């Protein structure tokens, strides 16, 4: 009880921006040490989306291969463990701990992105397309800073992706690491909105190229196929 009281007292005095500023140099150095990364005259900004558990690693690998690893990949989930109270949140909230590191992860994504833009690096930001606002904001920011913008979506049968989120959490817990449990409602909301939101962002005319991948192959390419096939392709894969 005394230990919990101590944690709660520390949380009361927690300063998010101070924590971000303290951890940023360490995280940025990790990115900057990529020997393949170099400033570009015509940089590319990629938004990677899809429901949790869809298997975004395959698409990320394809993009890195295409750009010879000359791209900075930003995944907010990787920043959660840098939160000053990362372990404390799991002690207090268990499976709901990820809710309490969301603000830190999101703020760090923005700070890393801004520095990468300043350096003129190719950038990939991983998200979900759960809402329209976030991808549209990121696309507009890329365009404003002279980036050519692309969207890459990863999807798979919805029950498979849901089972994958559970399996991933179990594997982390078994390895003695803090698992990240995705709420079912979050997963299902992305599934329900994914195709529609992707089409709307692409129709903004700010995106130069759109690709959709399953876990092992490309399903759609805007350079080859008409946009009216996009929603059916995504929904067919989700319902497969």
Non-local (6+) Cβ contacts of 94 within 8 A are: none
Domain count, the chain: 1
- Other beta carbons within 10 angstroms of residue 220's beta carbon come to 20
Q: What is the pTM of this model?
A: 0.91
Helix (H) or strand (E) holding 144: helix 133-144
Half-sphere exposure of 59 (CA within 13 A, CB side): 31
Active-site residue list: 77
* pLDDT tens, N- to C-terminus, the chain (240 residues): 447 777 887 888 899 999 999 999 999 999 989 999 999 999 999 999 999 999 998 889 989 999 999 999 999 999 999 999 999 998 898 888 888 999 999 999 999 999 999 999 999 999 999 999 999 999 999 999 999 999 999 999 999 999 999 999 999 888 888 888 899 999 999 999 999 999 999 999 999 999 999 988 899 999 999 999 999 999 999 998
Q: Which domain, by its residues, includes 13?
A: 2-238
3-state secondary structure (DSSP) of residue 25? helix
d(CA 25, CA 82): 12
CATH number of 79's domain: 3.40.50.300
């Amino acid at each position: 009880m005394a230990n919990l009281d101590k944690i709660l007292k520390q949380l009361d005095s927690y300063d998010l921006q101070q924590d971000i500023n303290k951890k940023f140099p360490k995280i940025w150095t990790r990115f900057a040490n990529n020997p393949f990364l170099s400033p570009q005259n015509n940089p590319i900004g990629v938004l990677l989306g899809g429901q949790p558990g869809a298997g975004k690693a395959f698409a990320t690998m394809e993009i890195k291969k295409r750009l010879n690893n000359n791209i900075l990949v930003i995944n907010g989930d990787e920043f959660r463990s840098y939160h000053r109270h990362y372990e404390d949140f799991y002690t207090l909230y268990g499976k709901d701990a990820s809710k309490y590191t969301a603000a830190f992860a999101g703020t760090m994504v923005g700070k890393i992105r801004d520095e990468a833009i300043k350096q003129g690096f190719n950038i990939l930001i991983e998200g979900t397309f759960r809402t329209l606002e976030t991808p549209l904001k990121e696309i507009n920011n890329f365009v404003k800073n002279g980036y050519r913008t692309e969207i890459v979506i990863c999807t798979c049968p919805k029950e498979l992706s849901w089972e994958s989120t559970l399996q991933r959490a179990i594997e982390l817990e078994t390895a003695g690491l803090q698992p990240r449990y995705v709420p079912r409602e979050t997963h299902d909301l992305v599934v329900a909105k994914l195709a529609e939101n992707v089409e709307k962002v692409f129709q903004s005319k700010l995106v130069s190229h759109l690709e959709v991948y399953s876990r092992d192959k490309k399903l759609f390419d805007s350079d080859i196929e008409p946009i009216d096939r996009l929603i059916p392709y995504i929904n067919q894969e989700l319902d497969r």
